[in-house]
Amino acid sequence: MAINAVGRDVPTEINGQRFKPFAGDMKTPPEGRRAGSLLRMVPEGRDKVVDSIEEVIKKVGLEDGMTVSFHHHLRNGDFVVNMVMETIRKMGIKDIRVFPTALFPVHAPLVDMLSDGTIRRIEGSMNGPLGEATSYGAMRETAVLRSHSGRVRAVESGEVHIDVAFIAAPTADRYGNLNGVDGPSACGPLAYGMVDAYHADHTVAITDNIVPYPAHPISIFQHQIDYVVPVDKIGDPAGIMSGTLRITTSPSRLKIAKYALEVIDRVALRDGFSFQAGAGGISLAVTKFLGDLMKKRGIKASFINGGVTKYVVDMLHEGMVDVVFDGQAFDLDAVKSLREDMNHIETPLAMYGNPYSSGGIVNMLDVGVLGATEVDIDFNVNVNTHSDGLLLHGIGGHQEVAAGSALTIVTVPLYRYRVPVIRERVTTVTTPGEVVDVVVTEHGIAVNPKRDDIIEAMHGSRVPVYDIQELQKKAERICGKPEEPKTTDDIIAAILWRDGTVIDVVYKVKK
């Protein structure tokens, strides 16, 4: 164990693999070269279609102890993860490492596979039941959570080697060209699966819509696909818009959004600015309010980045932004726009924010608006666990947006369900305070002391400005001092910073 740059005691070995402690953003230089994938021969004939998942698993030679990967563009409407993992279990294959971009409540059937030996560990975001089960010790090995671009870095560097990537493909031709914008299960981009298709030893497309060659437009190209497996249904697109992906209607949350808008207006709003908002209800409200203000002022943005919603699409189609970079569609309006508008651009996650590259889109952001489960007086942010210690959420793009944006705003209520959100010390550090500029609550805002320019810009504003310690004490006066989570000393998950260093760990929760 070692003490890292945010004062957390973290392991230097996880699942038999060496990791460095977090030393600060961009303080750990990369080592080595980009990893490659298995060389293979061009297949005979012009048809890569295999009749069943079981048959394709035999063809790719999946064995005990190997690593399989999945992408999550269908979110809580995905059928492919359960379909593939159930087949693996029925075939008696054990000790699989599952390497998803994210898992959702729909993937709850995997909980039983943690105990029956099918899955030895999951390395990816776990939203809901899988995270909760892991919190209580259901996983035999230590879970590892990475940000979206941290995952890309792990694959490109060889930190994680994928034996078989399974790509949920809304449209495919028989030779393996894929897209996500056509077909009955259209989900928009296939951006999260691109790095998997490029680096995995074998890549299998699972589809419910085979079209004549060539499928077009193409997101993932035929030379990266080994086999195509037709199934009845890969998912329900209605599940794309789920969970936090709805604009808030709460008066106090809307107040937070308006305070955030005031900060943006005073610090960053100008012709040609760029921004990214998160998927939470408050962040979506900020996006809508920002669009209304831009229209009123006649301001045009250069680009909007990230997961895309109807609010972003409306701004694009009303001429309020030049380009939308899209790594994930958050609703069906975004899927339709990506299919029809050439200024709506599908973005590989390697381009999004990989710190070990020649530069990601996040580095060009003027404003990033993000959420949190907790924030502490050092501006450290938790998005993974709740105050009871349960691991219920993934990292998403939180780390890279916070690190890359010129102005990083974290929007949170002062408390939830009578539990303080602004705390002396967060339960889990996901994003360090060094990359957070402003915390916005319904009671007022706190500005990181290192940002004198923002403090100066807020002079004369109607938005109350506090030291963050004042907000923390106010939360305690209202709710009382929060209880510490009841945990054991057993580490059940490691939280990695985007560069692959360990920023924190999550401990097993006592039942």
Query: Exposure of 38 by Cβ count < 10 A (0-12 exposed, 13-18 middle, 19+ buried)?
Result: exposed
214 neighbors 172 (Cβ within 8 angstroms): no
Alpha helices in 341-439 (DSSP H): 349-352, 398-404
Query: Exposure of 495 by Cβ count < 10 A (0-12 exposed, 13-18 middle, 19+ buried)?
Result: buried
List CB contacts of 494: < 8 A, sequence separation 6 or more: 10, 11, 14, 19, 142, 143, 144, 145, 502, 504, 505, 506
Q: Tell me which residue of 449, 446, 454, 355 sits closest to 407, measured CA to CA.
A: 454
Residues of the chain scoring pLDDT < 70: 242-246, 278-279
The reported pLDDT for the residue numbered 245 is 60
CB count within 10 Å of CB 418 equals 9
pTM, 2 dp? 0.96
Q: Which one-letter amino acid corresponds to residue 351?
A: M
DSSP-assigned letters across all residues of 117-132: TSEEEE-SEE-SHHHH
SS3 content of the chain, % helix, strand, coil (to 5): 30, 25, 45
502 neighbors 11 (Cβ within 8 angstroms): yes
Strand partners, 423: 376
Q: Tell me which residue of 394, 493, 499 sits closest to 100, measured CA to CA.
A: 394
35-42: list long-range contacts, CB under 8 Å, 24+ apart: 35/155, 35/156, 35/157, 35/158, 35/161, 35/199, 36/199, 37/198, 37/199, 37/200, 37/201, 38/201, 38/202, 40/226
Rounded to 5 degrees, what are φ and ψ at 492?
Answer: -105, -15
Q: How far is CA 96 from the centre of its chain?
A: 22
DSSP annotation of 341 reads -
What residue has token string 């109350």?
Answer: 464
Rounded CA separation 164/80 (Å): 14
List CB contacts of 195: < 8 A, sequence separation 6 or more: 151, 152, 155, 156, 348, 349, 350
Rounded CA separation 314/275 (Å): 15
What residue has token string 């897209």?
Answer: 179
Q: Which domains does the chain have, with CATH numbers?
A: 251-488 (3.40.1080.10)
Alpha helices in 20-147 (DSSP H): 53-60, 80-90, 110-115, 129-135
Rounded CA separation 476/425 (Å): 13
Q: How many CA atoms lie within 13 A of 495 on its CB side?
A: 30
Q: Count of residues for the chain?
A: 511
